[in-house]
Amino acid sequence: MKKSELKVFLDEKVLEYNNLTFIESDPIQIPHLYSQKEDIEIAGFLAATIAWGNRKMIIKNAHKMMELMGNSPYDFVMSHKGHDLEKMEGFVHRTFNSIDFSYFITALNHIYTNHQGLEQIFNLNATNNSLQPAIHQLKKIFFEIHHPQRTMKHISDPLKGSAAKRINILIRIIKMAN
């Protein structure tokens, strides 16, 4: 495909996917619920994490995640106490369960407290030619605190051969929030 053909193709896809009718039926609607940058990042990160399987179920479970956090993801991540994580018990989306969800909240707190947020990790570690080092660093930072081994499968690493599709979706969401 020639460069000019690729541009036409990609422009058509932007028109197809970057509109309200598409958003209404896609998990991307979850971060669109919020206006605060940190809420958008966290909602996008969690929705992207569970974005495999049936679209309707992804949307339903992503909404449930937001509800369990009082529909204020950043505030919940930053101010939750240990007993607040008990609300997550029973949450399941395919192989992502309440153990994973609780750890994700703890890890996100660590990232926002000690690393200035998700966007900052990407900004500090992306190169001019690649986001792969930034995604690798996100995974490294995300799991630098004590974590359940089972939870590691939910964050991919492009330096280990993954396309990191869901994390790349998150990066687009973060850019959208700016």
Q: What is the pLDDT of residues 41-50, one digit of tens each?
A: 999 999 999 9
- For residue 160, name the pLDDT band (cuts at 50, 70, 90): confident
Whose tokens are 């994390």? That residue is: 167
Q: How far apart are CA 46 and CA 73, in angstroms?
A: 10
Which two structure tokens, joined as six digits, stand for 168? 């790349």
| 26-72 pLDDT, tens digit each | 888 899 899 999 999 999 999 999 998 899 999 999 999 999 999 99
The mean pLDDT value for 154-168 works out to 83
pLDDT at position 24: 78
pLDDT tens profile 96-154? 999 999 999 999 999 999 999 999 999 999 888 888 999 999 999 999 999 999 999 99
Half-sphere exposure of 73 (CA within 13 A, CB side): 29
**Do the Cβ atoms of 37 and 177 come closer than 8 Å?**
yes
d(CA 96, CA 78): 22
Q: How confident is the model at residue 178 (pLDDT cuts 50, 70, 90)?
A: low
- Residue 167 pLDDT greater than 70, yes or no: yes
Q: How far apart are CA 122 and CA 119, in angstroms?
A: 5
More confidently predicted of 10 and 108: 108
Instruction: Please report, for residues 58, 87, 99, 101, 161, the alpha-carbon distance to residue 90 in angstroms, rounded to integers and kept in the order given.
Output: 16, 8, 9, 10, 32
Q: Where along the chain do its domains lie? A: 11-177
